[in-house]
Amino acid sequence: MNAHTGFPLPDLTTSLPRAPFLFGPKAVEEATAVLDGAPAGVFQQLLGDQESETTLLVARRVLEAFLGRAAATADPAAPQGTDADAIAAYVQEARAALVPSLTALRGAGPETHRLVLRQRAPLALLSGCWLDTVSQAATQPSVIVNCLFGQYFLLRGSGTPQRGLLARRRRTLDDLGVHLPGIEAADFLHQAGARPLTALHAAFFLALSRLPASFLPEVVGVHYAMCALGVDDVLLGTQALLPEAAARTVLAEYLALTEQSPTGAEDRRRTLTAIELVLRLEREQTALLTELADWHDGLSLDARVAQIVARHAPFAGKQHRGVRMGGRRLSEWLGDEQLDLAEFVAVFREARQTRTSAAGVCRFLQSIKFGGPMFGIFDEEEAATFAAWTESIAAGEQADLDFRPNTAGDERAAEWAGALRSAAPADVVAAEPERGLDDRELFHRIVNVEQYPHILPVARDRAEAGLADAELLFTHGGGGKLTNAEYFDYTPEALMERVERIYWDKLVNPYRPLTEIPDRDEVVFGQSTFALGSLIDGSWAHRIGNLGRDHRQSDHMLFAIYADEMGRGDLAKNHITLIHQVLASMDIHLPHIRQQEFLDQGDLPDGLYGFSIHQVCLSLFPDTLYNEILGYNLGIEMFGLGEMRLHEIQKLRRHNFDVSYEEAHLSIDNFSAGHARQSADIIVSYLDDVRRASGEEAVQREWRRIWRGYASFAYFVEHQLVKQVTDRQAAAAAPAARPDDADLVI
């Protein structure tokens, strides 16, 4: 359902309400420049910058271009309605038409197969990215979001990334001789030899991963279609990690939910459009790969040599100035930006360097072997091509200098690039970010940041201000009731000693069972002061697992904590579900925090919005505020332990309120092996990486930021301590009273 006065469980949401997307004028200008540029630039913007409104606007326009064209060319033969099996049969028919071509590509010669796999790699290695942030504060605890997140957790290796889809595919590519840098590397597309069409196809999936809450029906459709087609498993000869039947179960669940939704018919149409688009893209991709393989297989040896020369010529420099060919220095040939490859290869064929002597020695081949002046420039495959080429010259074979350019996919790429440049979504509105919003309005906008990207500069300022304020506790934090944010120099041992002292001295040892239980109203009020923070549980880490930024062990560890908070896709274990159950047991029925109606809710106190705002603001900057997120995570995970939590359970039980949320945290956050211990281990893991890369001085710089994140959590928890310290500071800063000041008082 998409409109509530209250928020009943289970959450049957099938789509979020359509709303304008607000962007600042600068983002509009920057996004246009990106989309007017090369396809590789669009890919790199979407993958590399995960914190800016420019990226979100690029994503919105990419989605408009692709989905708009798909809607305009809908297949009249596509099934309608809620029959998942009929849709599956439709997709399987499309798959059956693709498999012969894909099988032929897999059976091509090793060199051609590797070329095809490199070309496909930008898509093979981003598979599943559309689920990266489908779980977020604006969507949880939706039934369908949890179904999708459960499958995302499986694709991520169920807590062990080495078992996940990305790691499996990388191992398979390596085994097949395709060695590529990480997908986030600046030269990844170059190393893959990605054609413009491949970069544009990848840009669509990345764009969907940036706006999944706004395009939930499309996420469902894309997820099913990509899993069901299984193009990469056919090309790689691997078994699907997520079988079609499992993906179909989620599709069927979603279609059933749309039958109960007022927007169900529209949501189904959007889902089917996304499925048809995926079929179209995979047909285009298969055609591109086939065209590429045919082009490569049709290359003469002369043309293959020309391809090698073209790859290396830009890096030749001037070190060949003593070598002459055809009356020109070799350095002049290779330094010519308009190098005529056919002419160069023709001259090279006749050069003395490529002639084979009576003794069977070729000077050029000798030069690229170990000990030669060109050793290490050409890889094994390129060297083999040169050897075959010089043998053909020695055998008297005629030159074939009619080189066919590689234009695989270019016609389709030009169409998509034109669609991107002209895409003008009607729901995009240019608007300056409002400063001075009250906390309720700011919270609404950062929770719904996909609709309000222009709020990002405000969110950044708010996060930085909260972190700066928290440094107050670097000096005065030892007096906290539940925390100790006093600063100390980092060593792994010092960190563990500090967290153990907090655990025992502040959380566990002070505990005594309550001898008097507050009345019902007081217990309800106490829970209401925590509820807003609980309704966004885990949100500080919801972007940590995103494609392109999950390369550290600390990333994997923090993502695993987030997955636990969301119940790993199990709705009954989802912490957002649990807190709604607790509130319902107290007869508190709130709208969802994403809804406009939540702005007017009267059950949760206004004065505590700052804590939740700080948490969500941190979450929006997983790269530039990564350290602070690690520290904040330590604070909040330790908060689930000890005296406070045990007292809350005791009070809730006395009045027959639900205790599931409190009990879940007391268990899962345990200091032996649970989230509290893991949070300290994450920091140690991250700083170990820093030490190896940059040394001890860098460790202490990074550590200070981490502890600033911990202190920012403590700042919102230790109200009395903060007030005492700020009051003392204010008193000390006040000017001393003069003896005659009393005479001035009226």
Residue-wise pLDDT tens digits, 640-699: 788 989 999 999 999 999 999 999 988 898 888 899 999 999 999 999 999 999 999 999
Q: Is the pLDDT of residue 474 over 50?
A: yes
Distance CA 629, CA 622 (A): 7
pLDDT of 431 > 80? The answer is yes
CA angle 90, 95, 96 (to 5 degrees): 100
Residue 22 phi, psi dihedral angles, 5° rounding: -100, 125
Q: What is the 3-state secondary structure (H, E, C) of 352-390?
A: HHHCECCCCCEHHHHHCCCCCCCCCCCCHHHHHHHHHHH
Q: SS3 of 314, please?
A: helix
Domain boundary residue among 373, 402, 430?
Answer: 430
List pLDDT tens digits, range 169-187.
999 999 999 999 999 999 9
Does residue 9 lie in a domain region? no
pLDDT band with cut points at 50, 70 and 90 for residue 314: confident
Boundaries of domain holding 236? 24-298+411-430
Same-domain check for residues 174 and 266: yes
Please report the pLDDT score of residue 563 as a whole number.
Answer: 97
**Nearest partner of 698 among 517, 506, 490, judged by Cα:** 490
Q: How confident is the model at residue 321 (pLDDT cuts 50, 70, 90)?
A: low
Peptide bond into 212 cis (omega under 30): no
One domain for residues 316 and 426: no
The answer to whether residues 159 and 263 belong to one domain is yes
Residue 385 has pLDDT above 90, yes or no: yes
Residues 594, 485 share a domain:
yes
Give the per-residue pLDDT at 317.
Answer: 64
517 pLDDT tier (thresholds 50, 70, 90): very high
Q: How confident is the model at residue 736 (pLDDT cuts 50, 70, 90)?
A: low
pLDDT band with cut points at 50, 70 and 90 for residue 325: confident
294, 311: one domain: no
DSSP for 213-261, please give it.
TTTHHHHHHHHHHHHHH-HHHHHHT---SS-HHHHHHHHHHHHHHHTTS
Angle at 221 between CA 99 and CA 36, to 5 degrees: 90
Is 650 exposed, middle or buried (CB count within 10 Å of its CB: 0-12, 13-18, 19+)? middle
Domain membership of residue 435 (yes or no) is no
State residue 3's pLDDT score: 41
* Rounded distance between C-alpha atoms, residue 479 and residue 720, angstroms: 10
Tell me what the mean pLDDT of segment 395-407 comes to: 93
- 542's CB contacts (< 8 A; 6+ apart) are 133, 135, 136, 137, 562, 619
- Residue 337: the pLDDT is 82
Contact 447, 616 (CB under 8 A): yes
Sequence-distant (6+) residues with CB within 8 A of 35 are 42, 58, 61, 62, 420, 421, 423
Rounded average pLDDT over 706-731: 96
Q: Are residues 64 and 205 in the same domain?
A: yes
Pairwise CA distance, residues 558 & 564, whole Å: 10
Instruction: Please check whether residue 665 lies inside any domain of the structure.
Output: yes
- Please indicate, yes or no, whether residues 384 and 235 belong to a single structural domain of this protein: no
In a domain, 347, yes or no: yes
User: Is 318's pLDDT higher than 80?
Assistant: no
Asked if 149 and 234 sit in the same domain, the reply is yes
**What average pLDDT is seen over the chain?**
94
- pLDDT, position 503: 95
Q: How many CB atoms lie within 10 A of CB 551?
A: 12
pLDDT at 743 over 50: no
Together in a domain, 333 and 243: no
Domain containing residue 672: CATH number: 1.20.910.10
Three-state secondary structure call for residue 394: helix
Summarised one tens digit per residue, pLDDT across range 344-376 is 999 999 998 898 998 889 999 999 999 998 999
Confidence at residue 735, expressed as pLDDT on a 0 to 100 scale: 79
pLDDT at 335: 83
Tens of pLDDT along 155-165?
999 999 999 99
pLDDT of residue 329: 86
Band of residue 104 on the pLDDT scale cut at 50, 70, 90: very high
Looking only at the bridges linking them, the beta strands covering 21-23 and 428-430 are parallel
Same domain, 312 and 420: no
**Tokens 């069977």, residue?**
360
Confidence of residue 575 (pLDDT cuts 50, 70, 90): very high
| Axis-axis angle for helices 84-106, 244-258 (nearest 10) | 150
How far is the CA of 413 from the CAs of 196, 232, 420, in angstroms? Answer: 6, 21, 10
How many structural domains comprise the chain? 3
The one-letter amino acid code at 365 reads L
Q: Is the pLDDT of residue 739 over 90?
A: no
* Mean pLDDT calculated for residue range 137-150: 98
- Does residue 455 lie in a domain region? no
Q: Are residues 371 and 238 in the same domain?
A: no
Nearest to 401, CA basis, from 451, 343, 464, 475: 343
199 shares a domain with 258: yes
Instruction: Categorize the per-residue pLDDT at 327 as very low, low, confident or very high, splitting at 50, 70 and 90.
Output: confident
State percent of the chain over pLDDT 90.
Answer: 87
Residue 336: predicted pLDDT: 83
The winner for highest mean pLDDT among 75-79, 274-278, 336-340, 526-530 is 274-278
Token couple for 46:
């979407």
**Among candidate residues 430, 457, 476, the one where a domain is terminated:** 430
Q: Write down the pTM of the prediction.
A: 0.95
Nearest Cα neighbor of 474 from 461, 484, 482 is: 484
122 pLDDT more than 50: yes
**Residue 451 domain flag:** no
* Confidence bin at 56 (pLDDT 50/70/90): very high
For 559-569, the pLDDT digits (tens) are 999 999 999 99
The answer to whether position 19 is within a domain reads no
